[in-house]
Amino acid sequence: MIINELISNSLKHAFPDDRKGTITVRLKQVSPQDAELIIADNGRGFDAVHAEANPDSLGMTIVGALTEQLNGTLAMSVADGTTFTLRFPLRRQEPLP
């Protein structure tokens, strides 16, 4: 759901007027305990003024709630487009009997 929401936001806001661009999704294990999900676009960049005026938008509320459920952290960067970085702990699964 997080990936869907952030990609949808990129498609709606990062590339207005049929502008071409790239959306990147990367998931990697960064330590034995943690994974990192990065969703980035090279679009026009996240409008910080809009974000401050509407920090409780439904989409970002959903992303925040899901991040909490994963016991993760979410960071945003607006250099050369917009990048969201979600870091969360991996759950250790017990071996099957």
Taken in order of first residue, the domains within the chain and their CATH numbers are 2-89 (3.30.565.10)
In tens digits, the chain (97 residues) has pLDDT values of 999 999 998 888 888 888 899 999 999 999 999 999 999 999 988 765 455 445 567 888 899 999 999 999 999 998 889 999 999 999 765 665 6
Within 13 Å of residue 60, how many CA atoms lie on the same side as its CB? Answer: 14
Picking from 80, 88, 90, 97, the residue whose alpha carbon sits closest to that of residue 14 is 80
pLDDT for 49 equals 41
Please tell me whether the overall predicted TM-score, pTM, comes out greater than 0.75 for this model.
yes
Residues 34 and 56: beta-carbon distance below 8 Å: no
